[in-house]
Structure 1
Amino acid sequence: MIRRYCCPASMLQPVRKQTLSDAVFEQLRDRIVHGELEAGSRLPAERELCELLQVNRGALREALKRLEQARLVRMHHGGATRILNYRDEAGLDLLPALLVDPEQPLNIQVAESVLEMRSALAPEMARLAAIRGGPQAAERLEAIVHDMHESRANLDSLHELAMEFWAEIARASNNIAYRLVSNTLRESYRQFRSLLTGILAREYRDHDSYAAIARAVRHADSVAAQNRAAALTRIGESGVASVLETLRLEGTAR
């Protein structure tokens, strides 16, 4: 029987010895999400992979275990490891890796998906925060808004404070699913901070909207919180959409 392996030797690169298991995991993960390792195909046997990657078997097995936990591969009894379709199997923790595009600053299609999720999520989190957050959440939000006003000339500080504001909104929503999604979005933003900080400057500087959301949480006004959160994220959405369109046109022109 002829075995079909999915990755020729030229596709894999030797791994730096100081970060063995992490580097193996990241290299194989990136090959999978960028389609270089096809869903349904098999990875070579462990011994061959160790030779291709120039790592020991312990580091390889640790990386394969992480890939299986991320639902990118399935390891079968007897040692066979098959690539899964990450679109059907993987979770939100894969988003930061999916945003990376070898051909341009970021993957436009994935970035648009993240933007749509953010616009849908933020108003609902704010609505629940107004219902469930109470005075303590309002105090924390008001303190962040105060710091944002004091830091209005410093975009880097505004970025960090805006991330903190939405993290507090997620906590105040008392919805664990929203909190976990919010964590993933925040990690995705962190990866492209230099690109996003300038794009979202208008949103970060809209002090009145942040203050209005905090005030709505203070007064348990769920409708006001939801509406102001929706209006605030639309500001950033328009800026990001414009940049993504520019990147798309640049990619088409190549």
Structure 2
Amino acid sequence: MMFEPIARKSASTEVFDQITARVLGGDLAAGESLPSERRLAEAFGVSRPAVREAIQKLAQAGLVEVRQGDATSVRDFRQHGGPELLSQLLIRNGQPEWPVVRSVLEARRMIGTQVARLAASRATPDAAAAVQNAAETLAAASDPVSQQVHALTFWERVVDAADSIAFRLIFNSLRNAYEPTMTAMAGVMVAEVGRSDLYRALAEAVAAHDEDIATGVAATLLDLGTAAVTTAIDQLQQQEQHS
């Protein structure tokens, strides 16, 4: 097992990132024991307290299990990990992992429609106005990357209008996972973020407190992105089969 010496100031973060990448990439399998704290410190070229802090973060993320007096073992992140891992699963070697992207968009579709319904039910006048302003800002954007940025802001305002801390925290995780992919996703997601008419329609439904229309428009809008990614995945798989 090869690790790279740490060059940055936050040694524990670098240790955490390297071990996380190996767990998510399958180089460290579930049930496998990590080297001792001393051996990890030597391999990374950092202090043992830095390794100890990284191990604590890994345990909090559900990636390892620490047992007093026993070796630290790798856990199955699919069973024990949280949505904060999505940002590391989405990009591999600088490229999007399309099946993971599709999974995120599918989850977004299911959650987004319910958030839109709640927003239409609960939006205050100020919250509804913020959603409408975000829709107009998005409509004025011209390139796909900035459109995605403003689309995220739009959905943030919808989540605010829904007034649900649970949905807010879920949204934060999905947004943090998606943001690093925006440049790579620009050509695909234009099918969704370019539909300013639907964003405006959703904003109007929220302001009018029309839950059914808000839910339907949100579903139509979010399905566009999911369908575009699904098509891109199918095309890539066909290219791989013929290469």
Both structures adopt the same fold (TM-score exceeding 0.5):
yes
Matching of residue 169 in structure 1 with residue 169 in structure 2: no
| Identity, % of aligned positions | 33
Report the RMSD for the aligned CA atoms in angstroms. 1.7
User: Are the counterparts in 1 of residues 31 and 75 from structure 2 also a CA contact under 8 Å?
Assistant: yes
From 134, 143, 147, the equivalent of 1:154 is: 143
TM-aligned CA distance change 1:253 to 1:14, over 3 Å: farther
Matching of residue 144 in structure 1 with residue 139 in structure 2: no
User: Are the counterparts in 1 of residues 120 and 206 from structure 2 also a CA contact under 8 Å?
Assistant: yes
Partner residue, 1:5: none
Partner residue, 1:46: 37
Cα distance between partner residues in 2 of 1:17 and 1:84: 27
Cα distance between partner residues in 2 of 1:17 and 1:134: 46
> Deviation digits for residues 121-150 of structure 1, max 9, x if unmatched?
111110110001121211001111121222
Partner residue, 2:55: 64
From 90, 103, 117, the equivalent of 1:113 is: 103
More divergent stretch after superposition (120-129 vs 171-180): 171-180
From 124, 127, 142, the equivalent of 2:117 is: 127
From 196, 219, 231, the equivalent of 1:242 is: 231
From 13, 25, 29, the equivalent of 2:20 is: 29
For residue 41 of structure 1, what is the amino acid of its counterpart? E
> Deviation digits for residues 2-45 of structure 1, max 9, x if unmatched?
xxxxxx3xx32222243411111000001001111011111111
If the length of structure 2 is used for normalisation, what is the TM-score?
0.93
TM-aligned CA distance change 1:63 to 1:249, over 3 Å: farther
TM-aligned CA distance change 1:34 to 1:247, over 3 Å: same
For residue 92 of structure 1, what is the amino acid of its counterpart? P
Cα distance between partner residues in 1 of 2:131 and 2:8: 45
Which runs of structure 2 are paired with 1:210-221 in the superposition (5 Å)?
A: 210-221=199-210
For residue 90 of structure 1, what is the amino acid of its counterpart? G
Q: What SS is found at the alignment partner of 2:106?
A: helix
From 192, 202, 210, the equivalent of 1:203 is: 192
If the length of structure 1 is used for normalisation, what is the TM-score?
0.89
Gaps of 5+ in 1: 1-7
Cα distance between partner residues in 2 of 1:168 and 1:113: 23
